[in-house]
Amino acid sequence: MATADLTLDAFGSTVSENDTVLVDFWASWCGPCRQFAPVFEAASEKHEDVVFAKVDTEAEQQLAAMAGITSIPTLMAFRGGVLVFSQAGALPGSALDQLLEQVKGLDVEEVRRMAQEGEDGAEAGADESAQPDALNAR
């Protein structure tokens, strides 16, 4: 599966309507981003059951800000519509494959239950997450 370019308008639906989504936040001027691009593309060919999406932080500045991107490349993984991994920095191919196997191995119902418990705690008076609804889409 090839990678897809992701925009603010499509972000929420892409995350909520797919079981596993890996998002690469990047920019054309970023050397590490350019070096990571072929690794990301190769992983998309091996893991056809995962949606691989790229967000150009220059073109999608609002989305990058909403996602709290402060360094690129940044990878985010979503499972069952829930953010389960977020880390700045490029990964070597083997580490990316390991990450994807771990994310795919997560129990979707358990992930959603834990996310719901976190939201319930926030509503009970704890500090709410600053992440946008699109990042918490289910």
Residues known to be catalytic: 30, 33
Paired tokens of 29: 């001027």
Paired tokens of 119: 């939201």
Closest Cα partner for 122 from 108, 134, 136? 136
**Alpha-carbon gap, residue 39 to 120, rounded angstroms:** 38
**Alpha-carbon gap, residue 92 to 65, rounded angstroms:** 26
Classified as helix, coil or strand, 83 is: strand
Region class of 37: left (phi > 0), else alpha (psi between -120 and 50), else beta: alpha
The one-character DSSP state at 132 is: -
